């Protein structure tokens, strides 16, 4: 049986011949790419439905921006943004939902409302109780590398590996099985220069030493803009697809993307070309 993430309801998300696509629903006024695009729960639910229709395997719901300089949110405000959307999507789509938060309180309420996966941009190191929440619900947890500051001289790969080893240890100690832990190098302005982000994508396969599936999220990120010259995040779709296709060759099991339809099409062609050709007559 191929490796899989087991959801609280017993469903399995297989991690086999293609990366899973995680579509992004940001209910935030200040996210770097789509802040303010979804003004209310109804718009966010409709957006999540569209992502599911386009082929998202997971829909990731977040209520607090994580871009540099974002306005911190209290848990009550964050819950007011995400819970109606999670409840609405749970009623309308069968696609598993993840909650994008670093707060244990928010994760717990979201899982009770119908989310199935915890996606923590601070790798259970800002609020370690979040790992216990995932364990109690039987939910997979995604642990992302993050830094408060950028250091161009840092050996970023070593830093990511050390950080994620600590995060994995927190999750294991809380009772999350290793097979339910996903690691994410945190591409973009999470304490990394563009050059460091490129290195992490280029050497993504080295994260396999951690013994967990890998998530890659380069969608519309600033590093794509640096390479392509595109200053508008929404115009970085082709570059994002290219980065994710490369990441898939380096072992990425999940791709977190804004543009699900473009990625789904690209991976259909990629899979077709990867199949063994039939012998000629």
Per DSSP, the residues of 84-117 read: HHHHHHHHH--S-EEEE-S-HHHHHHHHHHT--E
Verify whether residue 221 is a known catalytic residue: yes
CA–CA distances in Å: residue 147 to residues 115, 121, 155 = 27, 10, 13
Which of 81, 192, 220, 221 is an active site residue? 221
Q: Which of 81, 192, 220, 256 is catalytic?
A: 256
Known active-site residue 112: no
Its sign, for the CA torsion 57, 20, 188, 151, is: positive
Q: What residues are labeled active site?
A: 221, 256
């Amino acid at each position: 049986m191929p490796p899989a993430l087991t959801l609280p309801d017993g469903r399995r998300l297989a991690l086999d011949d293609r990366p899973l696509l995680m579509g992004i629903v940001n209910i935030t006024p200040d996210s770097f790419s789509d802040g303010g695009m979804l003004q209310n729960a109804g718009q966010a639910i409709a957006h999540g439905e569209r992502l599911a229709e386009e082929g998202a395997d997971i829909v990731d719901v977040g209520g607090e921006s994580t871009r540099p300089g974002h306005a911190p949110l209290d848990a009550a405000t964050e819950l007011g943004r995400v819970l109606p959307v999670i409840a609405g999507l749970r009623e309308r789509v069968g696609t598993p939902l993840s909650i994008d938060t670093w707060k244990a309180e928010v994760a717990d309420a979201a899982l009770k409302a119908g989310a199935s996966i915890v996606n923590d941009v601070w790798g259970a190191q800002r609020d370690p109780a979040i790992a216990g929440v995932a364990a109690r619900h039987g939910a997979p947890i995604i642990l992302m590398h993050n830094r408060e500051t950028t250091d161009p001289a840092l050996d970023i790969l070593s830093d990511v590996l050390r950080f994620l080893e600590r995060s994995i240890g927190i999750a294991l100690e809380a009772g999350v099985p290793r097979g339910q832990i996903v690691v994410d190098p945190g591409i973009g302005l999470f304490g990394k220069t563009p050059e460091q982000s490129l290195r992490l994508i280029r050497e993504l396969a080295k994260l396999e030493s951690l013994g967990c599936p890998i998530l890659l999220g380069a969608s519309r990120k600033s590093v794509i803009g640096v390479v392509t010259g595109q200053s508008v995040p929404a115009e970085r779709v082709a570059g994002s697809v290219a980065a994710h296709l490369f990441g898939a060759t380096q072992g990425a099991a999940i791709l977190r993307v804004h543009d699900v339809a473009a990625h789904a099409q690209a991976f259909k062609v990629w899979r077709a070309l990867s199949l063994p050709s039939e012998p000629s007559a």
